[in-house]
Each structure stands twice: as structure tokens, then as C-alpha cells.
Structure 1
């Protein structure tokens, strides 16, 4: 119904904004080297904290603050019982024909338990050779106790049920960590337990499994670390092929991958600086340094941010290529394309920052890290990357941007 009247009038604000972008594009065109240097320094400074990235469970506040679960954990810590909430579970399965209560098996369990108990990070161990009450018993006492296993089950079913399977082949050990041990350090205890179980010795004939919440995160971290190079290679390869085909260029896909990686790296650096190291985390309701970043956060941030960054890259390159094809003038096309697309890029970025920024104030730490990282990356990508570094590189590369297609003048 409106027809040509839609957008017929550009308000004063619209003309003023376009004039600003025109002046900015001409400024970058006159000084591409300075723009590249200045933008590169900013990205390098923000990326520097990434060198100290620590992947793992946060040291504190990994339960949502202000919730009943979080309050309960704090109360348990005050009375010295927080370690009992998430113990490390160890299952020792003996081969057919052997029982976990045989003298040799009990001796192996005691040696394994003593090795873990010697670690100052371990507060207590509950197992067939570490029964509560009565002080520390000898192996002979335990062997006599388990001699009449059926009678013991009948008399004290609640004692054996959590520690011994019905067939008697699987024994369970619960390793309770000290309240002062952070979840990140607890992951090291899991690795130590697995290392002890793998050593040649009396447990060699048994199948030892270390599980629990902390062990689960150790495994997830290892799986994500193993899959990340493949994910990165797939994303880089797909990006290079698609952009190379669309723009008939070798340099443009390489530049896009480099700049997108720079944007993601700078966002990672900010996450490390603010949350892992705690500089400014109070602004987002996080009281103190987390000392580590959830393993899933870097992978999710990388995949999501690379896609978002590519959107802005295509916005910019599409307008530049559109202006370049009729004339073959690289510098003029870059300036015109930047001036024409800068408003769209920054407006879209502001919308995304507003959406992601809300999650930076979440009470759930993993959501908070993702929200902050996404908002920071979009801000950097729509300003330093797309308005400074990308056009500066295009100006400096000149006609080689479009090789092996028509290179123009």
C-alpha cells in the first residue's frame, strides 16, 4: 500500500549518520597502515590474557547463587561437610572367580585407599576397608568380618549395600575431598586416582572405574579438547571454500579467517580477564575470580562467534564487491562499501549485544560466561575488526584482494 513512499524520506539523523561513516571510510583509506597498527594493538592487548586460560570447573560459585542448592552448599561448608556432596566414586570390579572381600582383594583395596588418603586434599574415604566407627581396623579384622558375608548382610544391610555389589565382585570407594579443595583441584585428584589404578600392582587384575561429577567433567573436557581441532579445521575449511567461490579470491577467505580468529581470541581473552582472573567480575554479580573456565564455553563461543563474525564479514565484502565490479577501483570500492555497510553492521551488532548482554548477568556461571563472551565478541567484531582492520587490509592488499579473478586497477 505504501509503495515508493517507504523510505522516501531520509531524516536528518540518517543523513548525519551516513556522513559520519563516509568521513570514517575516507580516513581509513588515507591511513590504512595506521589503522592496521592501532587495531592490531587493541586486539593483541585483549588477546594477551588468553595465554593463561585454565580449562576446568570454576573454583567457586559453580552452584547458582541465591538458590536453595547454593545456600545449602554454603551451610555444609561451614560445618565441614561440603565434600560429601560430590565425592569421587571409584568402582573396582574383580574378574570371575574372585570376590572383593577375599584377603588379596582387601589388601589391594587398602593399598589403593592408603595412597589416596595420604593426599592432603582427601578428607575421608569410605570403602570396604574404611568402614565408619571403631577406628582404623586391620586387614585381618576385615577378613574375619567378611567371612560370613551372608550373615553380615542380614545383620547390617545398610552398611554393605552402598559398598559391595550383590554378587560380591564389585567394590565401591567414595573419596571425600576436603572443603578447602576447589573443583579445579578436585579434577587433579581424579587424574591421580586413575593414575594409581593404572600402575602395575595388586589392582592390575581388576577393572577400576573412577566416576562422579568431577570425573565426568574431566572426561567431558578431554573429549572436547580432542574434538576441537577437528571442529576448527572444518569451520576454517568451509569458510575458505565458500568465500573463495563467492568472491573468486584466495586472499579474501584467508583474511576473513584471520580476522574472525582474532575477534574470537580477543573475546576469549576478555572472558579470562574478567571471570577467571576476577578483574571487574563484581560488575556482573560474580564475587571473585573463578580460576577456571568451563570446558564447553570455549567450544561453544568459537562455533557461535565464528558464524556471527562471518555474517558481518559478508555484509561488508558484499557491498565492497558490488562497488568494485563495475569500476575495478579497489580503494574507492572499499571506501564506498564500508560507508554503505557500516550502519547496518553496527545496528545489527547493537541488537545482538543487548540480547547477549542480558545473559552476562545470569546467576548460572556457564550462561554468564557465554553471554559475556558473545556480547564482547560482537562488540569487537563490529567495531575494531569490521570498521578498522578489515578495510585497512583491503586497502593495503590492493588489487591482489581479487586474485585470481579480475584484479582491476
Structure 2
């Protein structure tokens, strides 16, 4: 028995098994559903995206115990009153009451405010107008714990006497998570009705149209439940749920569309329910299995980013695709077996649907007659669309990803206006000494020199450290303070100095007016890292900008291996399916073309700001993970249509040996199905493009554009034209003879 026959008989046996045990299969689906609902009700431990092992993360960890260390867990709280001023006792009393209530919370580590502080340092926390006062509330634990504690702290800060506005990284992440949940719910409420409309247009019967939605809903529920379970043992980013829903719903509905369409076609030719089911899984089922494998291979490329949220996201995506394939090959055939001819119940009284063979026959004939006329303009169009990608700029998601009306973003704008020094971009510098106290006289001298060197760098507006406590103090004074017994120093000086050290680690905050994601801020990080030695200590740089720089370098370092793996494994999968060396290579080229068009459109829209008023977002650099995430997801998703088209063409090639006829027949038979499936995916992805969070909006729109290009220009025009020109060479493989 040949490998092809073995593969065919495997799917035939699966069809027979599902047909005979359909009740057990459906009961199993109900069990899956109940388990998924149980997991969803318990929730998970989702976080923001983090990358382990980068320098910025190590600097943050070293500085975390210091009072003036990392500001990631610090909330900036702005108290405001329209008529009261900070000098009035009633303002001070109201703010003191609130902060005392907050200070007693177990989630709060410390509170800094002008109340009780010396006059000079406390003045910087009062605005020039006198109607606004700043307080800093530092939360305990890491980022995950701080975000979880945010609602409790926010509630404690509410007071009828003063208006309070919160900002900072924790406030940003809490708002982002809330928006992501809202975006996910809204996208699903929009995408399901849109998908149903397209399915009704394709099938013209209510029962057939509902089946893909059943499978899609089941796959997404189980996929999301799987992500929540995984979040308990690994770092799973919040918007993994959005990505899993996006991919899972699209592929599950597409796979179901392929199978239901083929089943109805086999019934229309007079086959019995059992025979139609066997033929369906033997053909469309096999294509679905290989397509699912190709999508999983694409998402597996994310596993090369080990230690990052991308790796976990790839795992979640692969999981939901596995559920989509599993349910499409078991639950859907069980439903079809139970329904039989009743799959055409509820016929609608309009049109002939998307599968009008006459239209596709005319297009196939025209493409076969004019391959060069089709190929050259469409290639030129795709290449032109990809040109903006050369201007790509990368930067991590920041506060501007939130809609303008959110509290965290409004708070950031207020902070920048009223307290510019506190709102300045802070680049964290941690100096780790081998052992002992970080603030000995000798080390103070080295830190003093380093601080003055940092202050002289372009763009720096100030340095905060144990050797920058007050203007005018020289190195000798700081050394004398370091040598003096601590009890002889004024309490406020001792507290201020000790805020910048933790054991053998000294902390410095380098302030710049440049935005965190700007080129100037990145250059400052690189400049700080050029001189690693501070006395006998080693300098490490952290903070948002440093994390941005390190994340970008991490992605660049691992991307070649991920891309190579995805392209190599995709070639192998297609070779096994098609028994051709040429077609897999051509498929890779076609995928790259559709991706180039999508990436170029992303830069043109989201970075350069075209259509920003229509789509309601603020233009800016692209999130660094977005291109690689789109590449891995779309490279596999594009194979849906490639596998479906080439599988049908190969059927005709094996039957007739006529390449031109096989290509035309394959396009004629699958063109309507491909465009219908693409319309569903575009509808699903476009629903996510309505998201409030820019990175989700960009991913939804990028995937919608890529699928639309892939299913129209690439699969329907470029692929058939190239196959027509290549003739019998399409089917060449080492040692191959004849048509087999």
C-alpha cells in the first residue's frame, strides 16, 4: 500500500468510525464544552507581555528593593480641587485622610507625598497653580500582583472632597487589560453575525450555515479555556485571548466550510450519507488536516522566542488550531451524519450563492489564455503595496495605545503639564558592586563621576541618585557623608540617600524629556551602556526605553531561526501532500508576496497615519512583536487556500495528466469556496479591527488585508497563472515519473 493510499484510507476509516459512533462523538463534544465553561468561570493569571533574561529585566530586578528603584509598580496620583489650594488645611486634611486609608492597605508598600515632607523637596509635588498635588503610591509584589491590586487601591483613593486621577504603568496595564476584554467581547458579538451572513450567502440554507458557527464557537471556547489553564503555569499575555479567538474562529469556520461544502456536493451527486461522509473526509478532510498542520507549523515558529510572551502565544494559537481541526474532523462529521440530507433544510429564497461555476469557469479560461497579462500587473501591485514596509519603525506599546478618554492616558497628559520632571522619561541605571555597601566613600566617588558623565549626555535633563541629593554639593561632601556614622546625618538626608541603594546595588534615575519610544531616548540607553564600569561595579540599564531596545534586539536575534523553521517545515508539509518540489517553493514565494502587501499596508496606515481619523487611532511606530506574530499566523493561514486549491488541481492532474486542464478545473471548482472562506475570515478579522487597543486593531486589520490579498490576487490569479506557465514542471520531484 502506498503512502497516499494509507493516508486516504486513514481518513476513510475516521469517517466510518464517526458515522457509526456519532452519538458518542457528540456526547464527547458536550463534555469538552462543559469542561471549557468550568475553566472559563474560574479565570486565569494573565499578564502583560514580558521577556525573560534581557538586561533591562535584570536591572529592574536589582533595583526593585530600593525605594527609588523601578517605578513600574508606582502609581502617580494627582489630587485636584477647582477652588481649594494645597496650602489650605481642608485640602491637606482631605488628602491626608485618603492617603492614610491607602497606606493601610496590605497591597501598598509605600506612599510619598508633600504631607510631612521638608519644604524644598515637597514643593515639587505641588503644581504652580496650587490646585493640584502629586502623590506616589508604590504597590507590593511584581507587575502581575500590582495590576491585580489596582482596583482595590483605585477604590480607596476615591473621595468626595477631591478629584483624583491616576496614571503610571500599573494604571496603564489595568486599563489595557480591561479594554482588551471589552474588545474581545465586542469583536465576537460582531464577528459571529457577520460570519453567519456570509455563510447564509454561501450555502443558502440555514442548517448548513449554522454548522460552521457551532464548530467555531466550540473551538474558541476550548482554546480560550486552554490558554487560561496554561496561564497558571507559564507567562501568558492578556491579549493572547484576542489572538486565540481571532485565529481560532477564522480557521474553525473555514475548515467547517470546506467540509460542509464537499459533503453537500457529494450528496448532490447521489451518494448516500455514509458514502458522502467517507468521500468528504477522504478529500476535504485530508486538506483540512494538512492545512491545520501548516497553520500549527506557522505558529510553532513563535516557540523560538523562548522565555517571552510570544512563545506562550504560539502555544495558545497552536492549541486552538488543534481544537479547530479536531472538531472539524469529528464533531462536524457526526452532525453531518445525523443530519444527512437535512443539512439543506431551511433553504433561503435568494440567489445561487458564491459557488456559481459559470463565473469561475470564465475566469479560469481567461487566466489560462492570458497568464502573462494576469501575472505581471498583479505582481507589480503586490510589490508596490509592500514598499512602505521598508520604512518600518518599531517601538513597544505605551500609553498612547489607550484611547484619549481613558483615565491613565489623561493622567499622563496632566502629569506632563503640571509636573514635567515627574513625567519625564526615566532610564533606570543599576550599578552592581561585587559585595558590601554600595555607598562607601570610594564607590561614592565613582558614582559621582558617573552621574556627572550621564548628566552631560545629549537629552538628559537631570539625574537622581545618592550623589544628586542637592545642587551645589561636591564630591568631597558626598564622601564625607558616606564616611560619617549614619546617626550623625539628618534623618531626611539619610532617608533620601538610602532610597538609592539596596545592599551592594546603587540606583540612579536618568531623566530625559524625549518620549520613551523616541530615537533620542534609545540613543541615550545605548550611550549609557557604552561605559559599563563604575569603580569596581558593573552598570546595567533598565526602564521602558531599555526594555524596548532589548525586546527589539531579542526579536531580531530570534527571527531568522523562526522564519527559517516556518518556511522549511511548510515546504515539507506541502511536499508530503503534493509530491512536488516546485509547488512548495512557489507557495512560499506567494505567501511572502501577500505578507509583503499586508506589512506595507500596516506601515502606511498605522505608522504613517493614513486613515487614522477613519479608524480612530494615534499613528506611531509598530509594536515590535506584531510583524513576527503576523508572519507566523498568516504564513499558516495562507496555506488554507493553497492546500484547498492545489489539492483539487492535483486530483485533476492525477486523473488526466493535462496541467492546463487541471489548473483551470481546480480554480473553477475551488474559486468560489476560496473567496467565500476568505470573506468569512475577513469579516472575523475586521471585527477585531474595530478594537480600541491599537495593537489588536492593527493585527485584525493586517490579517484581514493579508487574507483578502491572498484569496483574490494570489490564489485566484497569480498561482493559476504561474502554474499555467510552468506546465509539467509543477509536478517535478526527484525520481518522479509520469503523473504519479
Same fold (TM over 0.5): yes
Bigger Cα displacement from structure 2, 50-59 vs 362-371: 50-59
**Deviation, structure 1 residue 182:** 4.5
Maintained 8 Å contact 2:424/2:512: no
| Aligned mate of 1:78, from 417, 429, 436 | 417
Tell me, yes or no, if structure 1 residue 343 matches structure 2 residue 635.
no
Q: How far apart in 2 are the matches of 1:187 and 1:179?
A: 9
Match of 2:640 in 1: 311
**Deviation, structure 1 residue 2:** 5.9
Bigger Cα displacement from structure 2, 181-190 vs 134-143: 181-190
Match of 1:382 in 2: 711
**Deviation, structure 1 residue 71:** 0.9
Tell me, yes or no, if structure 1 residue 323 matches structure 2 residue 323.
no
Q: SS where residue 130 of structure 1 aligns?
A: coil
**Deviation, structure 1 residue 373:** 1.2
| Aligned mate of 1:113, from 435, 440, 451 | 451
Match of 2:45 in 1: none
| Aligned mate of 2:693, from 364, 370, 376 | 364
| Aligned mate of 1:186, from 521, 530, 539 | 521
Maintained 8 Å contact 1:400/1:407: no
**Deviation, structure 1 residue 6:** 4.6
Change over 3 Å in CA distance of 1:4–1:16 after alignment to 2: closer
Tell me, yes or no, if structure 1 residue 245 matches structure 2 residue 581.
no
Q: SS where residue 395 of structure 2 aligns?
A: coil
Q: How far apart in 2 are the matches of 1:368 and 1:61?
A: 14
Match of 2:210 in 1: none
Q: Deviations over 1:276-314 (max 9, x none)?
A: 111222221113x30x21111111000000011011110
Change over 3 Å in CA distance of 1:54–1:352 after alignment to 2: same
Query: TM-score scaled by structure 2?
Result: 0.51
Match of 1:27 in 2: 366
Q: Which has the bigger relative contact order, CA under 8 A and spacing at least 6?
A: 1
Q: Deviations over 1:103-134 (max 9, x none)?
A: 33223222322232223422221011112xx4
Q: SS where residue 713 of structure 2 aligns?
A: helix
Q: Deviations over 1:305-360 (max 9, x none)?
A: 00110111101101111121110111111111111111111111111112212222
Q: How far apart in 2 are the matches of 1:126 and 1:96?
A: 23
Q: How far apart in 1 are the matches of 2:377 and 2:719?
A: 12
Maintained 8 Å contact 1:95/1:205: yes
| Aligned mate of 2:566, from 232, 235, 240 | 235
Q: How far apart in 2 are the matches of 1:22 and 1:149?
A: 93
Q: How far apart in 1 are the matches of 2:717 and 2:488?
A: 76
Maintained 8 Å contact 1:266/1:377: yes
Q: SS where residue 92 of structure 1 aligns?
A: strand
Q: How far apart in 1 are the matches of 2:737 and 2:607?
A: 48
Maintained 8 Å contact 1:112/1:196: no
Tell me, yes or no, if structure 1 residue 355 matches structure 2 residue 711.
no
| Aligned mate of 2:462, from 117, 124, 147 | 124
Q: SS where residue 592 of structure 2 aligns?
A: helix
Maintained 8 Å contact 1:65/1:363: no
Match of 1:159 in 2: 496
Q: SS where residue 473 of structure 2 aligns?
A: coil
Query: TM-score scaled by structure 1?
Result: 0.89
Match of 1:47 in 2: 386
Tell me, yes or no, if structure 1 residue 268 matches structure 2 residue 599.
yes
Q: How far apart in 1 are the matches of 2:364 and 2:461?
A: 64
RMSD: 2.6
**Deviation, structure 1 residue 366:** 1.8
Match of 1:147 in 2: 483
Q: How far apart in 1 are the matches of 2:375 and 2:472?
A: 69
Q: How far apart in 2 are the matches of 1:159 and 1:135?
A: 14
Q: How far apart in 2 are the matches of 1:281 and 1:319?
A: 41
**Deviation, structure 1 residue 215:** 1.6
Match of 1:172 in 2: 507
Match of 2:400 in 1: 61
Aligned residues, how many?
Answer: 398
Q: How far apart in 1 are the matches of 2:486 and 2:559?
A: 51
**Deviation, structure 1 residue 32:** 0.7
Q: SS where residue 14 of structure 1 aligns?
A: coil
Bigger Cα displacement from structure 2, 187-196 vs 22-31: 187-196
Q: Deviations over 1:217-253 (max 9, x none)?
A: 2222211111111111111111111111221111000
Structure 1: unaligned runs, 5 residues or longer? none
**Deviation, structure 1 residue 261:** 1.2
Match of 1:101 in 2: 439
Change over 3 Å in CA distance of 1:153–1:172 after alignment to 2: farther
Change over 3 Å in CA distance of 1:15–1:294 after alignment to 2: closer
Maintained 8 Å contact 2:458/2:524: no
Q: Deviations over 1:175-212 (max 9, x none)?
A: 12215665453222222211232xxxx62631222112
Q: How far apart in 2 are the matches of 1:153 and 1:140?
A: 15
Structure 2: unaligned runs, 5 residues or longer? 1-337
Q: SS where residue 361 of structure 1 aligns?
A: coil
